[in-house]
A and B are shown apart, each in its own frame.
Chain A
Amino acid sequence: MLEITQKITLLDGAFGTLLQKKGLLTATVPEANNLTHPDAIIDIHREYIRSGSEIIYASTFGVNAYKLSGTPYKVEELIEAAVANAKKACEIENPAVKIALDCAPIGKMIKPNGEMSFTEAYEMFREVLTAGEKFGVDLVIFETFTDLLELKAGVLAAKENTALPIFASMSFEANGRTFAGVPISSAALTLSGLGVDAVGINCSLGPEQIFPLAQELASWTNLPILVKPNAGLPNLITEEYDLSPREFAKATAKFADIGATLIGGCCGTSPEFIAALREELAGKTPALRKPVQRTALCSSEQTVEINQVRIVGERINPTGKKRFKTALLEHDIAYILSQALEQTAAGAAILDVNVGMPGIDEPAMMAEVVEAIQSVSNAPLQIDSSDPAAIEAALRIYSGKALINSVNGEEKNLAKILPIAKKYGAAVIGLTLDENGLPQTAEERLRIAEKIVKRAEDYGIAREDLLIDCLTLTVSAQQDQALETLKAVQLVKQKLGVRTVLGVSNISFGLPDREIINTSFLTLALEKGLDLPIINPNNRSMTSAIEAYNVLMNIDQNSAHYISQHAENQAVKPGAAEQKSEVTLEYAVMNGLQWAAAEVTKKLLDTQQPAKIIDLILIPALEKTGIRFEKGEIFLPQLIQSATAAQASFEILKQEIAKQPLDQQTLTRGKIILATVQGDIHDIGKNIVKVVLENSGYQIIDLGKDVQAQKVAAEAAAQQAQLVGLSALMTTTVKNMQETIQAIKAVSDCKIMVGGAVLTKEYAMTIGADYFGKDAKAAMDIAKEVLG
């Protein structure tokens, strides 16, 4: 094992820079020098050891299956050679020196920024890590990472397959974010939660630019801090770095003053730099760091500290929502995403995600929804489930630090959920109930909260990562309980020093004018110390109560936020009121008037059946719009606006239809499967076709982008779809389109339409498609021909 002590450990410096000097960097795989020029590699290691490096990095930076694909080299042989070379150097110079397995990003982006799946990244890291451990490295250092989820895949691969200590280091730009947009706080929270042994910053910048970033890092973690700056900034023309060894060493030695304990150099540095650094650090002890105790959650791009009231949006939840249930059953992820975005726009800082309902594979659905939400939203997520498998599925692919909703005081429940929270570094909500049910007094609830906090601490979960929900009961049923809940919030906060959570709206169930009760209860609870109200953020009186509270408590300085939210209140939908009385649904659709389309539809429903509205008004209006698009009278954004207005009308109709018994809900014109073929991640064309078809009344099963041929075929067969639409943007993926068509034809006799920038009608026929949809209008016509 590696001992991390309160002293400075000197790391090594650049490797590539030295290989370059020896003329060895031009090799296709620089790490192949471990085999072809072992003496050169050993020499570099020896020079670093002689200049004072106590941990050297084996020359394995870019070794992984992706970077080696198409080369004659294997991951294991290069790692074996690299570790052997490092060991040789240590044997000759100083056997006490430790060897790190150096692990860089895979080289292609993980989803959603790229197309690599979490599992693919995990497997590639696993291969590298198990080889490293097998050949005898002392630890692994992940460095130069810019994507938090990719780094998480690496860390989990290390934790689950090796016993190696883990150092994790990311590269930040001067604005304090990585290329992928990860701020230092998110990196620190996530990596600390995952239980790595040190976190750090390397590359990109020189010591002076990294210094404030490292200070920020120290304010978010209690872990040892690692820094490896470049030798200053590069000259754009000569590409030489601008610091001399002495200048570098002086600037880098300052990291000891903020308590960093693992210090070395990155690009542009050499043994000379490390030797100078050793001199500058001689006799220095790292400053003692202040312990960090912050309750905070994060996504990969945004940190939300619970140091003031933060709204948790409750809308992603099927309970009591027919429309949401339908969306889950029909796999309508877009609807769920629209709920996510609507809530953050309305002021939710955190989003609760619950997809539990009968007939759903909850773990799979949870993972899919979480992945989809984090591809469009920056809000941290609260994973709401009673199924440990669903919680784990979500936490595994979550990029950031999430909040689990929830555990309770039952021993069995604690034993199941807390280890998952610990492993993935999530914060946890504890409900104050246990085997004996929900206690009636505040004091008893406090006792359960104490027990939960104690158990969590036994599992190594810090108190700041525990939040307590004292449970809201319905005041119309148990009137004395509202006071007990409020008292419990206050007690828990005072005695345990933890943050508190409450689902608010349950209080008013069964009473008229629920909003009045809800808002009043919320205000009382805030005053008692409620930190996270779980509410519907679209309800203005609830969010307004919080905004007002922040003014009165002197939190919203100069009432700035309050004013920004309330000054323009009257300016909603100008002109819309007079429009709605005159406008027809056809006019609203053809002119893309979304709001008017919804309003007119509501009125029409007084006199007409949904099916009639679709057949007699919506479809003809969309068809007319399609013709205008074809003639060039309107262009793409206008076509989309019309489709969106039709969608607003359909939403109203769907709500109406959802009220009817399930067996009568068959108003769609038929099922169409859409997918962008494997290898293609550009799905804007497919999405446009989807918007238009969906709003023409078809049920769309959207398989997304980069979809394997077999998956499309399996869905076509399982769903008994009559039409499948495939999209490919690139010449390189057209061959996958052909394979997909063959796979579908093997299992289904549905019709297939294809589209995409590089396709022509002739080509579409050559590869076996039934139709060529050159644009969204053409797709509409084809759907009409096939499905009616």
Chain B
Amino acid sequence: MLLHVDSLDKNEILRYLGHRSGQLSAELDETLERCIRDTLQTIRPMAITKRFPIQHNEADIQIIGTNLILTGSSIRNHLAPVSEVWLMAATVGPAMDKLIRARLVNQPDEGVILDSCGAAAVEAAADQIQSELKLQADQEQKFITSRFSPGYGDLPLQIQKEFLNALDAGRKIGLSVTDSHLMTPSKSVTAIIGISNETITGSQDPCDACRLRMVCELRKAGTPCWK
């Protein structure tokens, strides 16, 4: 389905760019605004979701009706209280990748800003989907977990191909993976959201839900902010 993302969070983009503090110069602020405008004009956010029952096995979790098997303790922990999940995939489309590539040639400062704008855009798309799913869960008086993506914790990135197959994401939203399990278009997100009859409690690694996860120096250094 086609989504509408019509604004981006400037502070989030600045965080992605490693901006620590202080006022932006007027020029830089203008550049950032221009990049956000270019991004909003370029992206074509699309997403697909599908609901599946799951089966907890001793060593893994099986997504019933697909060939997708989730391994690792992080995801078992994350989905411990649930018997159903939504799989979701969102992308802002290949035009954003091309815009970033082109801008990096002649205006590399804008290129790196656009790269972060693209990341913010797909996060915004994923947020939108998640709130829609939350609404649906509310109606059923159920609860949802946070998003958990392949590559988080010890959930291997290798499942991306089967993950996208389960959603027919190639055909539905033009999303595929490379041989090294990266998604193309690159500004894309896949995630698993658990559906539970009970309120979600228990220990979910806070980093898993954090959108700074991939760029966080603290987490990389093994000293996340919450420890």
Contact = CB atoms under 8 A, between A and B. Distances in A.
Interface in B171-227: 171, 173-174, 176-182, 184-186, 214-215, 220
B113 interface: yes
A28 interface: yes
A733 interface: yes
A714 interface: no
A637 interface: yes
Interface stretch (A80-88, A467-475, A682-690): A682-690
B187 to A, nearest CB: 11
A180 B175 CA distance: 10
Interface in B1-51: 1, 14, 17-22, 28, 31
B66 to A, nearest CB: 8
A637 B108 CA distance: 8
B135 interface: no
Given A179-B94, A691-B108, A377 B102 contact: yes
Interface residues of B, number: 51
Given A113-B185, A342-B106, A108 B157 contact: no
A108 B108 contact: no
Interface in A629-677: 632-633, 635-638, 640-641, 643-644
A676 to B, nearest CB: 11
Nearest to A638: B28
A682 B214 CA distance: 13
Given A377-B102, A687-B108, A636 B17 contact: yes
Given A179-B94, A644-B107, A687-B104, A635 B20 contact: yes
Interface residues of A, number: 54
Interface string B50-94: 000000000000000111000000000000000000000000011
Shortest 10 CB-CB contacts between residues of A and residues of B: A179-B174, A679-B180, A376-B102, A114-B184, A640-B109, A635-B19, A109-B184, A641-B109, A632-B20, A115-B178
A315 B116 CA distance: 32
Nearest to B101: A376
A108 B104 contact: no
13 contacts: A109-B176, A113-B185, A115-B179, A115-B180, A179-B94, A376-B102, A635-B18, A637-B110, A638-B28, A640-B108, A644-B107, A681-B178, A681-B182
Interface stretch (A191-199, A333-341, A538-546, A565-573): A333-341
Contacts of A637: 17, 28, 31, 109-110, 112-113
A777 to B, nearest CB: 12
A640 B35 CA distance: 15
A680 interface: yes
B123 interface: no
B186 A636 contact: no
Contacts of A113: 94, 97, 184-185
Contact of B108 (A116, A633, A680, A688): A688
B178 A636 contact: no
Contacts of B22: 633
A747 interface: no
Contacts of B215: 757
Nearest to A678: B180
Interface in A729-788: 730-733, 757-758, 760
Interface string A301-331: 0000000000000000000000000000000
Contacts of B101: 112, 375-376
Given A26-B65, A684-B100, 7 more contacts: A107-B176, A181-B94, A181-B95, A342-B106, A635-B18, A643-B108, A730-B182
Interface string A190-229: 0000000000000100000000000000000000000000
A620 to B, nearest CB: 21
Contact of A732 (B28, B170, B181): B181
A181 B19 CA distance: 33
B46 to A, nearest CB: 8
A139 to B, nearest CB: 23
Nearest to A758: B220
Nearest to A28: B67
B42 to A, nearest CB: 10
Given A376-B98, A640-B109, A760-B220, A679 B179 contact: yes
A282 interface: no
B110 to A, nearest CB: 8
Given A179-B93, A179-B174, A640 B112 contact: yes
B35 to A, nearest CB: 9
A681 B94 CA distance: 14
Contacts of A684: 100, 104, 111-112, 115
Contacts of B113: 637
Nearest to B179: A679
Nearest to B171: A144
A425 interface: no
A286 interface: no
A337 B1 CA distance: 35
A203 B18 CA distance: 43
Contacts of A635: 14, 17-20
Contacts of A682: 182, 186
A757 B16 CA distance: 13
B108 A644 contact: yes
A162 to B, nearest CB: 26
A681 B186 contact: yes
A560 B177 CA distance: 44
Nearest to A640: B109
A13 interface: no
B136 to A, nearest CB: 9
A338 B106 CA distance: 6
Interface string A457-482: 00000000000000000000000000
Interface in A684-702: 684, 687-688, 691
A183 interface: no
A236 interface: yes
Nearest to B156: A732
A146 interface: yes
A375 B109 contact: no
B180 A730 contact: yes
Contacts of A537: none
Given A341-B102, A644-B108, A687-B104, A108 B17 contact: no
A356 interface: no
Interface string A416-436: 000000000000000000000
Interface string A90-114: 0000000000000001011100111
Most buried by B among A105, A114, A338: A114
Contacts of B179: 108, 115, 679
A52 interface: no
Contact of B178 (A108, A342, A760): A108
A351 to B, nearest CB: 13
B121 to A, nearest CB: 16
A236 B49 CA distance: 9
A257 to B, nearest CB: 29
A680 B181 CA distance: 9
A179 B178 contact: no
A409 interface: no
Counting chain B CB atoms within 10 Å of each CB, the highest count among A178, A637, A687 belongs to A637
Q: Taking each of A28, A643, A679, A687, which has the highest tally of chain B beta carbons within 10 Å of its own beta carbon?
A: A687
A760 B220 CA distance: 8
A236 B47 CA distance: 11
B180 A203 contact: no
Nearest to A267: B171
Contacts of A132: none
Given A636-B17, A637-B31, A640-B112, A114 B105 contact: no
Nearest to B115: A684
B174 A180 contact: yes
Kindly name the residue among B101, B104, B108, B176 whose own CB sees the greatest number of chain A CB atoms within 10 A. B108
Nearest to A759: B220
Contacts of A592: 109
A42 B108 CA distance: 57
A590 to B, nearest CB: 13
